[in-house]
Amino acid sequence: MLVARVQALLRRHEVTQLRFKDLIIDPAAMSVIRNGESIRLTTTRFNLLLALAAHPRVVLSRAQLVDQIYSDPSSHFVYDRTIDAHIKALRHAIETDPKNPQFIETVFGSGYRFIGEPEK
């Protein structure tokens, strides 16, 4: 559901990929490339990355992320820490140094934000 919404938004703006520094996110292909190498992500982690990257510098709470990454959030019981675990795994997949992230920042007490600078 989220992927379809983002794809529709990107089509309206004639953008097919989200590009940040050395990270390319392709919603149509559900692929992520970092430094020229393909990164394999689960559907949930891809949707999480896409939700964050589609709103650069905007803080998204765990509840907002659950709403965006699951097609029917009411049919999923998700603990807050589930999102944290997915963020941790996502950082290990896309960050050079997960302890000093370049892309996903924790905003203590609020949620997460994508801090990568979009390329034009």
Domain containing 64 — which CATH number? 1.10.10.10
Spatial distance between the Cα atoms of 49 and 25, rounded to a whole number of angstroms: 9
Domain count, the chain: 1
For residue 98, tell me if it sits in a domain. Answer: yes
Query: Which residues span the domain enclosing 64?
Result: 2-114
42 half-sphere exposure, CB direction, 13 A CA radius: 10
Looking at every residue in the chain, the average pLDDT score rounds to 86
In the chain, % of residues over pLDDT 70: 78
For residue 77, tell me if it sits in a domain. Answer: yes
Q: How confident is the model at residue 77 (pLDDT cuts 50, 70, 90)?
A: low
| Res 73 pLDDT > 70 | no
For residue 120, tell me if it sits in a domain. Answer: no
Provide the pairing of β-strand 31-34 with 37-39. Answer: antiparallel
For residue 46, tell me if it sits in a domain. Answer: yes
For residue 53, tell me if it sits in a domain. Answer: yes
Where residue 30 falls (left for φ over 0; alpha for ψ -120 to 50; beta otherwise) is left
For residue 119, tell me if it sits in a domain. Answer: no
Q: How confident is the model at residue 7 (pLDDT cuts 50, 70, 90)?
A: low
